[in-house]
Amino acid sequence: MKHNEPMNATRKPRRSPSLPKALTGIQGLDELTGGGLPKGRPTLLCGSTGCGKTLLAMEFLVHGAVEYGEPGVFMAFEENAEELAKNFASLGHDLKALVAQKKLVLEFVHIERSEIEETGEYDLEGLFMRLGRAIDSIGAKRVVLDTVEALFSGLPNAAILRAELRRLFRWLKTKGVTAIITGERGETSLTRYGLEEYVADCVIMLDHRVEGQMATRRLQIVKYRGSTHGTSEYPFLIDEGGISILPVTSMGLKHEASTERVSSGVPRLDAMMGSKGYYRGSSVLVSGTAGTGKTSLAAHFIHAAAVRGERCLWFAFEESSSQIIRNMRSIGIDLEPAVRRGTLRIHAERPTMCGLEMHLVIMHKLVNQFRPRVVVIDPVTDFAALGQEWEIKAMLTRLVDFFKMQQITALFTSLTAGRAFVESADVGVSSLMDTWLLLRDVQNGAERNRVLHLLKSRGMAHSNQVREFLLTDHGAELRDVYVGASGDLLTGSARNALEAQEKAQTLVRGQETEGKKRELERKRHALEAQIAVLRAEFEVEQAEEAKTIEQDQTRASVLAGDRVQMARRRQSDARAAGKTPKRK
Amino acid sequence: MKITKAKSATTAFEQSLAKPGRPRYRLRLYVAGMTPRSAHSITNIKEICEVYLKGRYDLQVIDIYQQPVLAEGDQIIAVPTLIKKLPLPLRRLIGDLSDRHRVLIGLDLKPKQ
C-alpha cells in the first residue's frame, strides 16, 4: 500500500480542484481535511479498540442528518440499535428521534459464529440487499459500516469475503454514498484484515496511547487521495460535546501583527514599555521564582482588560477560582465583578487531570467557545510533569500561534526553580514570547525583596532598568532601586535606610552651608570690628597728634611772647614789639 | 399468518419430542434470485432431504429479493443460507450446500469427527 503513495502524490494536482467533499461537522476534522471526507466515496477509519471509531462515525452521520440534510445509515455489526441509542444519548444525540424522522437508519447485523457451517461457495448478496434497502428507505447519502471486519470472524472463507468486500466498496461508490468503514487496527497493517487495500481514497487512523499514565487520543490522516492534508498526528478530545480535534493546520507564522497596545495594568510597568504596555496579540512571559508576584502581575493585566470590557480567560493550574479572587482582593484587585458579569472566566484545573495535548484541546475548545481577547495561563511550568521538554515546547508553540492567530494577548507565568540562573531556565520557552518579564527576589540583610526586570520586549523601546516590585494593599507598585556602595541592589528596608541616610546627609549638608554662612558673617563682623578698632586707634592718634600740634603752637607762641617781652625788656626791636600784642 | 406459523412450529417441535429417535426437520433456504448457484443449492438440499429425511422435513425456499423482510428477520448476510430451525439448535449452513459431508454435520445427521 505504501508504494502507492508517490503515485497518488503526482495525481493530486489534477484532481484536487474538483474533488467534492462531505462536511463531517466534527470540530477540527473539516479543517484538517480541507472540507470533509471524499464525497460519494468510502473512507476507512481504523484504530484500536476504544479509540472512538464508532463515535466519530456516528457523529458524521448525525451531523449529516441534522446539519447538512444528508440522511444516513448506520450498519452495526457489534452493537444493536438499542445499545447504540443508549450510548449516544449520553452525548446528547437522540438517535431514536432521528430514526423516527427518517433521517437515520440503525441496522444491526448479527452474526453468530457458532451457528454457522460453511457448505460451499456463497456471496454477500444478503448484506448488499439489506444495505441497499436501508439506503433507499430514507434516501441516505451517508453510510457507516461498523465494523465490517466482524464478518471475517463470523463467516468462514476469507477469500470469498475479500472478493465480496471489494465488490461492496465498489457498489457503495456506484450508490454515490459517502461511507465510513471502520476497521480494527492490525499488528503489521492498518487493519487486521487489510481493508486498506480496498478503500483507497481516504484512510484515517485513530490512536489511543498511554504515555506516563496519561491517555491521549490522536487522529492521523494516513491518506487522502486527490486532496492535500496534514499528515501529523492530531490530538482529539471526546467529551459531552462529542469529538473535537485540534485544528493544527490553521497555525503557522501568518498572523497579523497589531500595533495596538494594551495596558499591563501597572502604570509604572507601562511606562517601562514606552508608556503604552504590551502589543495586542503578543505573548508575554512572566517568569520568576516562587512567591515573586507572577500571579499578581497576571491579575493586574486581567483586571485592566476586564475594566476595558474585554473578555478574559484565566487558566489556573494551581489555585481554584475563589482562591484567586480572595488572594487578589488582598492586593486590592477585585476580580469578582468581572466574573459575575461574565467578562472573566476562570478555568481552574489540576494539570495532572489529563495529558499535555488534551490540555491543548481543552484550551482550544474553551477559547473557541468563550472568544476572549486576553488569556492568562498560570503557570505553564505545571505542564513540565506531563511530558518531555520538547513536547512542552511544541505544545506552547501551538498555543502561542493559536492565540496570535486569534489576536489574543496571552500572558504566561512560569515558575523557575533555583536562584542561580533564573534566566536560563526559561530560555526554551522565552524564544516564543514577545515580552519577557523576570521577577526575582533579592536578599538584603535579613529580608527578601522582589525586583522586576524587563528582559525583552519585541518591537518597542523599553527600559533597561531594574525596578523594585512591591505588592501593596492597593496593587503592585514599581519603584526605583538603589545600587549600594558595593554594587548590590538595595531594596526594601535597605532602600528605606538608604533613603533615610540620604535625607540625613542632605540635612547635614544644609547645616554645613548654614555654618559656613555664619562663619563668613562672623568673619565679616570681626573684620568690621577690627576696622572699627583701627579707626578708633587712628582717631585717638589723630586726636593726640592734634593736641601735640596745639601744644607745639602754644609753646611756640609762648616762646614768641617771651621773646617780645624779653626784647621789650631789652627794647631791641620796636617793630617786632609792636606786632606781637596784635597776635594776642 | 405469523401466528399460525408459530403454532405449526410448536406442533412440529412437540411432534419431534414425541418421536425422539427421528425428529422432524424444519428447514428454510434463502437464495438470491435464480442464479446458477441458487439452483445448485436447491438441487443439493432437495437431494439430501430425500435421502436422509424422507417424509419428516418441511423445506421453504425463499428468494431474498422477493421477501426481503423475511431475510432481514433471519439476519441473512450470505446467500445461499440454509437455516435449520428445527430440531434445535438453530444452525446456518452457508454456501451452495455442495460439501455434502459438512451439510450432514450441520444438520446433525452425522456426528462431528
| Digit-coded pLDDT (tens) for A25-43 | 887 788 778 788 888 888 8
| A122/B94 touch (CB, cutoff 8 Å), yes or no | yes
Cell numbers given for A310: 474585554
Neighbours of A483 (CB within 10 A): 11
| A155/B106 touch (CB, cutoff 8 Å), yes or no | no
3-state secondary structure A283-295: EEEEEECCCCCHH
Q: A111 to chain B: which residues are within 8 Å by CB?
A: 75, 77
Query: How many angstroms away from the CA of B7 is the closest CA of chain A?
Result: 24
Three-state DSSP class for residue A272? helix
Q: Which domain holds residue B35?
A: 2-106
- Apex CA A338: angle with CA A336 and CA A339, to 5°? 65
As a whole number of Å, the end-to-end CA separation of chain B is: 41
What per-residue confidence (pLDDT) applies to A189?
Answer: 73
Give mean pLDDT, residues A123-144.
88
The letter for the amino acid at B35 is T
Query: How many angstroms away from the CA of A177 is the closest CA of chain B?
Result: 20
Three-state DSSP class for residue A42? strand
User: Least CB-CB distance to A123: which of B79, B82, B98?
Assistant: B79
CA A344 to each of CA A312, A328, A366: distance values in angstroms, whole numbers, following the listed order: 5, 14, 12
Containing A546, the helix (H) or strand (E) segment is helix A492-570
Q: B77 to chain A: which residues are within 8 Å by CB?
A: 109, 111, 124, 126-127, 130, 151, 154-155
| A124/B32 touch (CB, cutoff 8 Å), yes or no | no
Question: Would you call B42 an interface residue with chain A, using a CB distance cutoff of 8 Å?
Answer: no
Determine the residue among A75, A80, A105, A125 to mutate to test chain B binding: the one whose Cβ has the most chain B Cβ atoms within 10 Å: A125
Residue B113: inside a domain: no
- Apex CA A84: angle with CA A83 and CA A87, to 5°? 85
User: Least CB-CB distance to A124: which of B78, B102, B103?
Assistant: B78
- The average confidence (pLDDT) of chain B is 79
User: Least CB-CB distance to B98: which of A115, A120, A130?
Assistant: A120
| B78/A127 touch (CB, cutoff 8 Å), yes or no | yes
| A122/B91 touch (CB, cutoff 8 Å), yes or no | no
Count of domains in chain B?
Answer: 1
Instruction: Compute φ and ψ for B68, nearest 5 degrees.
Output: -65, -35
| A115/B92 touch (CB, cutoff 8 Å), yes or no | yes
| Digit-coded pLDDT (tens) for A305-345 | 988 889 999 999 888 888 988 988 888 888 888 889 888 89
Taking the C-alpha atoms of residue B69 and residue A126, their distance in angstroms, rounded to an integer, is 11
Q: B94 to chain A: which residues are within 8 Å by CB?
A: 116-119, 122, 155-156
Q: Is the pLDDT of residue A9 over 50?
A: no
As a whole number of Å, the end-to-end CA separation of chain A is: 162
| B97/A133 touch (CB, cutoff 8 Å), yes or no | no
Cell numbers given for A464: 533597561
Q: Is the pLDDT of residue B14 over 70?
A: no
Query: How many angstroms away from the CA of A134 is the closest CA of chain B?
Result: 11
What per-residue confidence (pLDDT) applies to A126?
Answer: 87
CA A121 to each of CA A127, A161, B38: distance values in angstroms, whole numbers, following the listed order: 16, 11, 10
Full DSSP string of A391-403: HHHHHHHHHHHHH
Q: B37 to chain A: which residues are within 8 Å by CB?
A: 121-123
| A126/B76 touch (CB, cutoff 8 Å), yes or no | yes
Cell numbers given for A362: 481543552
> Helix crossing, A81-89 with A53-67: angle to 10°?
80
Give mean pLDDT, residues A472-485.
78
What per-residue confidence (pLDDT) applies to A5?
Answer: 41
ipTM of this complex: 0.78
Q: B27 to chain A: which residues are within 8 Å by CB?
A: none
Determine the residue among B77, B97, B99 to mutate to test chain A binding: the one whose Cβ has the most chain A Cβ atoms within 10 Å: B77
| B96/A121 touch (CB, cutoff 8 Å), yes or no | yes
Which residues 6+ apart lie within 8 Å of A512 measured at CB?
Answer: none
Residue B111: inside a domain: no
Give mean pLDDT, residues A386-406.
79
CATH code, domain carrying B66: 3.40.30.10
Q: Is the pLDDT of residue A528 over 90?
A: yes
- A472-486, A534-548, A550-564, B53-67, range with the lowest pLDDT: A472-486
| B78/A120 touch (CB, cutoff 8 Å), yes or no | no
| A119/B91 touch (CB, cutoff 8 Å), yes or no | no
Q: Are A196 and A1 in contact (CB under 8 A)?
A: yes
Q: A117 to chain B: which residues are within 8 Å by CB?
A: 91-94, 102-103, 105-106
Full DSSP string of B11-60: HHHHHHHHSTTSPPEEEEEEE-SS-HHHHHHHHHHHHHHHHHSTTSEEEE
| Digit-coded pLDDT (tens) for A409-464 | 999 888 877 654 455 555 567 778 888 888 888 777 777 788 888 888 888 888 87
**Which residues 87-146 of A are in CB contact (within 8 Å) with B?**
109-112, 115-127, 129-130, 133
Query: How many angstroms away from the CA of A203 is the closest CA of chain B?
Result: 26
**Which residues 57-76 of B are in CB contact (within 8 Å) with A?**
64-65, 68, 71-72, 75-76
Three-state DSSP class for residue A170? helix
State which residue of chain A sits closest to B74, comparing Cα positions.
A110
Query: How many angstroms away from the CA of A164 is the closest CA of chain B?
Result: 10
| Digit-coded pLDDT (tens) for A59-77 | 898 888 888 888 989 998 8
What per-residue confidence (pLDDT) applies to B20?
Answer: 56
Instruction: Pick A195 or A165 by higher pLDDT.
Output: A165
| A122/B95 touch (CB, cutoff 8 Å), yes or no | yes
Determine the residue among A119, A130, A133, A152 to mutate to test chain B binding: the one whose Cβ has the most chain B Cβ atoms within 10 Å: A119
**Single pTM value for the model:** 0.63
State which residue of chain B sits closest to A133, comparing Cα positions.
B68
What is the DSSP pairing of strand A435-444 with strand A283-288?
parallel
Three-state DSSP class for residue A255? coil
What per-residue confidence (pLDDT) applies to A2?
Answer: 42
Burial A462-471 (b: 16+ CB within 10 A, else e): bbeebbbbbb
State which residue of chain B sits closest to A122, comparing Cα positions.
B95
Cell numbers given for A350: 489540576
DSSP E strands, A430-580: 435-444, 447-457, 467-472, 475-480, 482-483, 489-490
Taking the C-alpha atoms of residue A148 and residue A558, their distance in angstroms, rounded to an integer, is 167
User: Where does the pLDDT of residue A12 fall: very low under 50, low under 70, confident under 90, or very high at 90 and above?
Assistant: very low
